[in-house]
Structure 1
């Protein structure tokens, strides 16, 4: 079994030097053309034996010392995968990989209350929908305004939330035009349901309200009819439902799907990256929310003909006392008005849980949905919508800190693989997700156990047809450009090569042949030599 606690680098035949980033951050919007420094924890770089790539293109404009490499390159792309291949003075390989987002847009946002007055002191978070871990947050000033800096020209989800549980949200293409977010609350107003449509500048253009007689009180029924909201041109469409819970209710859930005509229209992967958000709030301050975009879900999450996903579930734990609940649902047409998107909600209901052996299973359990029970290929959504929703292990847990991170990293860099390499990536991604289905369905809730189960599945998944041993040298170079010095992945690769007779020697022959090819660049030969050195050390042949 793989060891999941602080592995020793020397055991994996790697340099003990750690590489950290200076001036930029993988989790932030970075300033365009910012100088990047790769800092070694020890001054042991062999300055004559390293190479650095950006999106698989060699970076020429750099300088070095034994403790750092400084990159002066001006990147045209807003997404850049930086990968380092080096040898230290002791002869051990150094691998490092960082995916970075750059932007130059200053994006103004204004937050207002429902009566139009400025909302000061509100926390607003801007997330990159292509990679939700990349974000920027701040607090509105006295005019209800905040400006986000260095925003890439991509779809951005915006969430504003006050300390007393008012929220507002939208999804837009990054722009220098002011985006207005209107806060909504859970209160005792007569309006039970309301649909609001905004244009691309967040101006309210239509209101349809259904008024509920407050003198009779809120409905005590914990089942609300389903509904569909659809964009009407460019901009956000939103709706809400609010009602009182029954006594002793401990959880409420929303079952929904996302439908976008952008997928059958052929715009998956484009900047026309339509977006949705679903949130649940309670009067006592409980809150759950999910925001996703077409590109972030992955093409495999959709039925290509209809542009519909399978069903998803969002759930909120309750206090067990009657309280007011509000469901907010929004969908945004981003960057164009030609292709519309919808969110279909078929259930808003109280949870029903039954004990089965030692496991309590509830209707809100995400593992009951087909998209979690049988994860689709070409999608990384399983880790956030299934695994983390079932067992929340936080940003350092396997689902968020490893599974989603590397799944999306591979998905963003498929162009660097051969056709066989792409097939291997998709097959491996899907295998790793399916290995977690059974323990999650059987209510395994220990984060360390789930992490161990996940890593134990890596070697067999790497060898699932077509298998890592069938890949060309260029695919291996692409893999290492993505995983860097991640020890658990390297251990899985090592075990995978050892299970196939002759695998390591065949790979070494393929790499050596490429090194001897006059058509291969000097920088690529340096990378391959370093990869070959690690392969020989790790495989003992």
Structure 2
């Protein structure tokens, strides 16, 4: 944030930030002085600068301010709130053929470069609506990506679309994983133009970078970016069954705890691909060849060479059958274990067995001509959870894959931390999941592959427990009795656990198959994981709100996902459930800082603004109550800045954040926030 002021005027600067709290208009001598011969256009220019939030003046106060005795700032604020709504500038009068009587029309701030500082963000006593923009100003990343492993110590650029940036009214905060500061750390050394922001580079780690700014028309911008930075170059070699290097194989490296972050490379003549900017977190490696071979591994980011050994697509087996022993017999790898006092005779267990490398098992059952889909029912168990290592780098990983002789393939992979603590019981068990793959009439057999890996150490084991393989003749609209392999028929989908985001991928996406741009992954899972990652920044009440809201949204999806649902209809219905879930979970009663966390997370996405707007416009005193609370926060940060000059920049930046939040709430509740058609 740029702060330009002289020390004698610090009190004026600090207090001008809190003018948002004043909307009264006192017709007193102070106002008359603004309207007098020493005021006029000069007073209008003063009011624009005075209410912008940051004063750039270094001279003594104007002559007309002399009449504003006593509480100078409060009276000047009151005068400005009246004056800017009624005063007609001389330039406007001379060009107009109509009467020069004062008008009640709101002024339209200039967007020219020369008047930028005087038209900066204002949530002041100017109570006129923000001008409606043709689009909502938003920053886009240049030189970094939320879906990539980004290089460390490399500057980042943010380009602003739609309007121009008020270069006197912006600030940038960053916070790493586990941070408890709701703001984070003020980023120093930023530079701004009307169209872009430049931010210095970061050290290795995952950071939430929050930009709070105003454009030159006064529209607030509250936007965050979640970026992963790394400095490790990780070589990966792909070999076949005879350990010979394999050339021209595409390999994907996924940051398993941060879904969506990946890097893709192709092996060279030596069978090696170099992955760059890797962070020391759990990395899932996957490759698929044209001849239906796959390769998988799960490791912690390292500069050591990692080997992926291709798993061939094997001939059909007569020993593994869907309808005998639940398909558990005839596997290669894994251990069959009896289940005492259970309706099932046994399960198959594939464990890490104190090994670092991926442990696998496979089976190749034949498929009947009338089979329409096949499935595997499994659960994940890890000793890391009862051992107290959830949330650490010991983030064990698993993958389950189904392939067919006709070339179809589907896979599901997760790591412990990514699934969320709520997905596990006290012994480290998840509920059972189902991976289902449709097959066409030409399918003769399929292959199931299961892999599980220790990550970072081999001290505590993890395992996949396979309960059943199944083949189904039911259609998509069958019941759970006739279609037990349907993902939505599984316990974890019928009753999603609290404090887990696994429902979106394992249940909603597994059923709807909308892809990366659909509601389950692009919005539901993305925001759930974002809330989960920043949970330590919320108050206890805020944390309860997050998990109760996420659970409410997941339960709403259960009723939405049914026979005949499309991705569009399910997505629209899901968004319609947001306002009720927010309100029922206590959104209006949350502390201000929790509101800020929610707004910066869902407000970054245009679709996320819609439910907040509905709540504010229909929630009675929700908006006005929150604005009053925000004003108190602003007052507090201003007072702290006065009392602690050494850290005044930080407190002023926080005051600016609250000012932007206030403007966002006010404009959204008044229906003047410029939301493009949704």
Q: TM-score, normalised by structure 1?
A: 0.88
2:317–2:365 contact (8 Å) kept in structure 1: no
| Cα distance between partner residues in 2 of 1:480 and 1:83 | 11
2:406–2:442 contact (8 Å) kept in structure 1: no
Residue in 2 that maps onto 1:509 = 628
Q: Does residue 68 in structure 1 map to residue 196 in structure 2? A: yes
Residue in 2 that maps onto 1:233 = 354
| Cα distance between partner residues in 2 of 1:473 and 1:261 | 39
Matching residue within 164, 167, 185 for 1:47? 167
Distance 1:500 1:378, change over 3 A: same
Distance 1:439 1:115, change over 3 A: same
Matching residue within 585, 600, 609 for 1:481? 600
Note the C-alpha offset of 1:187.
Answer: 2.8
- Residue 101 of structure 1 aligns to a residue whose secondary structure is strand
- Residue 515 of structure 2 aligns to a residue whose secondary structure is coil
1:240–1:327 contact (8 Å) kept in structure 2: yes
| Cα distance between partner residues in 1 of 2:501 and 2:140 | 26
Q: Does residue 458 in structure 1 map to residue 588 in structure 2? A: no
1:82–1:97 contact (8 Å) kept in structure 2: yes
Residue in 2 that maps onto 1:469 = 588
Matching residue within 132, 139, 158 for 1:19? 139
Note the C-alpha offset of 1:75.
Answer: 2.9
| Cα distance between partner residues in 2 of 1:124 and 1:460 | 43
1:14–1:93 contact (8 Å) kept in structure 2: no
Q: Does residue 246 in structure 1 map to residue 374 in structure 2? A: no
Note the C-alpha offset of 1:95.
Answer: 2.3
Distance 1:24 1:245, change over 3 A: same
2:316–2:364 contact (8 Å) kept in structure 1: no
Residue in 1 that maps onto 2:467 = 346
Note the C-alpha offset of 1:103.
Answer: 0.5
Distance 1:14 1:259, change over 3 A: farther
Q: Does residue 490 in structure 1 map to residue 609 in structure 2? A: yes
- Residue 244 of structure 1 aligns to a residue whose secondary structure is coil
- Residue 390 of structure 2 aligns to a residue whose secondary structure is coil
| Cα distance between partner residues in 2 of 1:359 and 1:13 | 50
Note the C-alpha offset of 1:246.
Answer: 1.9
Note the C-alpha offset of 1:79.
Answer: 0.6
Q: Does residue 525 in structure 1 map to residue 655 in structure 2? A: yes
Residue in 2 that maps onto 1:540 = 670
- Residue 365 of structure 2 aligns to a residue whose secondary structure is strand
Q: TM-score, normalised by structure 2?
A: 0.71
Residue in 2 that maps onto 1:216 = none
Q: Does residue 116 in structure 1 map to residue 235 in structure 2? A: no
Matching residue within 494, 517, 529 for 1:408? 529
Note the C-alpha offset of 1:19.
Answer: 1.3
- Residue 453 of structure 2 aligns to a residue whose secondary structure is strand
Distance 1:250 1:208, change over 3 A: closer
Distance 1:42 1:354, change over 3 A: closer
Residue in 2 that maps onto 1:7 = none
Q: Does residue 140 in structure 1 map to residue 260 in structure 2? A: no
Q: Does residue 86 in structure 1 map to residue 213 in structure 2? A: yes
- Residue 494 of structure 1 aligns to a residue whose secondary structure is helix
Q: Does residue 291 in structure 1 map to residue 413 in structure 2? A: yes
Matching residue within 295, 299, 304 for 1:177? 304
2:174–2:207 contact (8 Å) kept in structure 1: yes
1:15–1:92 contact (8 Å) kept in structure 2: no
Q: Larger Cα Rg: Structure 1 or Structure 2?
A: 2
Encode CA deviations 1:55-109: one digit per residue, 9 max, x unaligned: 222212201011111001x434511111111111111112222111110110111
Distance 1:534 1:253, change over 3 A: same
| Cα distance between partner residues in 1 of 2:132 and 2:469 | 50
Question: Higher helix share goes to which structure?
Answer: 2
Distance 1:537 1:279, change over 3 A: same
Note the C-alpha offset of 1:471.
Answer: 1.1
| Cα distance between partner residues in 2 of 1:322 and 1:16 | 50
Encode CA deviations 1:290-349: one digit per residue, 9 max, x unaligned: 11000111111111x210000101111112235232111011011112211010001112
| Cα distance between partner residues in 2 of 1:86 and 1:15 | 16
| Cα distance between partner residues in 1 of 2:395 and 2:423 | 14
| Cα distance between partner residues in 1 of 2:633 and 2:174 | 21
| Cα distance between partner residues in 1 of 2:134 and 2:584 | 26
Distance 1:168 1:192, change over 3 A: farther
| Cα distance between partner residues in 1 of 2:334 and 2:490 | 32
| Cα distance between partner residues in 2 of 1:411 and 1:136 | 23
1:12–1:487 contact (8 Å) kept in structure 2: no
Structure 1, 470-479 or 493-502: larger mean CA deviation: 493-502
| Cα distance between partner residues in 2 of 1:455 and 1:188 | 46
| Cα distance between partner residues in 2 of 1:359 and 1:169 | 32
| Runs (5+) with no aligned partner, structure 2 | 1-129, 176-183, 321-331, 336-343, 642-650, 672-678
Encode CA deviations 1:277-299: one digit per residue, 9 max, x unaligned: 00011111110001100011111
- Residue 133 of structure 1 aligns to a residue whose secondary structure is coil
Note the C-alpha offset of 1:359.
Answer: 11
Residue in 1 that maps onto 2:546 = 425
Matching residue within 292, 300, 315 for 2:436? 315
Residue in 2 that maps onto 1:370 = 491
Q: CA RMSD in A?
A: 2.5
Encode CA deviations 1:15-60: one digit per residue, 9 max, x unaligned: 6323110000011100012211110124511111111111222212
| Cα distance between partner residues in 1 of 2:514 and 2:490 | 20
Question: Higher strand share goes to which structure?
Answer: 1
Note the C-alpha offset of 1:354.
Answer: 6.5
Structure 1, 335-344 or 347-356: larger mean CA deviation: 347-356
Provide the aligned length of Structure 1 versus Structure 2: 503
Distance 1:209 1:378, change over 3 A: closer
| Cα distance between partner residues in 1 of 2:615 and 2:628 | 18
Distance 1:237 1:405, change over 3 A: same
Distance 1:265 1:386, change over 3 A: same
Structure 1, 167-176 or 489-498: larger mean CA deviation: 489-498
Q: Does residue 58 in structure 1 map to residue 180 in structure 2? A: no
Residue in 1 that maps onto 2:233 = 106
Matching residue within 35, 45, 63 for 2:155? 35
| Cα distance between partner residues in 1 of 2:552 and 2:139 | 30
Distance 1:19 1:346, change over 3 A: same
Note the C-alpha offset of 1:185.
Answer: 1.4
Encode CA deviations 1:491-531: one digit per residue, 9 max, x unaligned: 21122234432111111111100101123711000010011
Residue in 2 that maps onto 1:220 = none
- Name which structure has the greater RCO, CA cutoff 8 Å, separation 6+: 1
| Cα distance between partner residues in 2 of 1:15 and 1:59 | 28
